[in-house]
Amino acid sequence: MADRYLTVSLDKRGVRCTARLLTEKAPLTCDAVWDALPLSADVYHAKYARNEIYALFPAFAPAEPPLENPTVTPIPGDLCYFTFTDTQLGTASYGYGERAGLVPVTVDLALFYERNNLLLNADTGWVPGIVWGQVVEGLDGMAAACQDLWRTGAAGETLSFRRA
């Protein structure tokens, strides 16, 4: 199978990067995401994992993929897939308000843009993610935009995933 690529963008900031799907390591996850593209939603900057931006989506796969190619220490450029239930995101400390609990399963698509990430949540413990993509172009510009998002806020910004 030929390599598949997607564009990850912060739309308001006009910044994007290109990622290669890791089909050989996470085939079920890659197929689920690919078939659902394009995807776009409000962006969040991580509180716990450190150098991560992400968007939340209602489940879009016929069945959630298994934990293929897992990590708890993502590296710069990793795209990760997480699945959470309504009760897992319902704690007020997460800050999702009424959005939490609206759907039984939420998919978190994340981009890690810098080193020293650890997927450990004080409420639940380890939170392994599926590494399904790797940024191959434009990470420096995206990392600068992510750092700006951290410092100036995410309000009004969207994170989008589209076929390249």
Domains of the chain, each with CATH number or no CATH: 5-163 (2.40.100.20)
CB neighbour burial string for 68-93, b if at least 16 within 10 angstroms, e if fewer: bbebeebebbbbbbbbbeeebbeeee
Residue 93 has pLDDT above 90, yes or no: no
Torsion of CA 44, 45, 50, 56, to 10 degrees: 10
DSSP state of 34: H
**Partner residues linked to 70 by β-bridges:** 130
For residue 38, cis peptide bond before it (omega within 30 degrees of 0): yes
pTM of the predicted protein model: 0.93
Residue 104 has pLDDT above 90, yes or no: no
**How do residues 43-91 score in pLDDT, each as one tens digit?**
999 987 899 999 999 999 999 999 999 999 999 999 999 998 877 776 6
Report pLDDT for 96. 63
Contact 7, 16 (CB under 8 A): yes
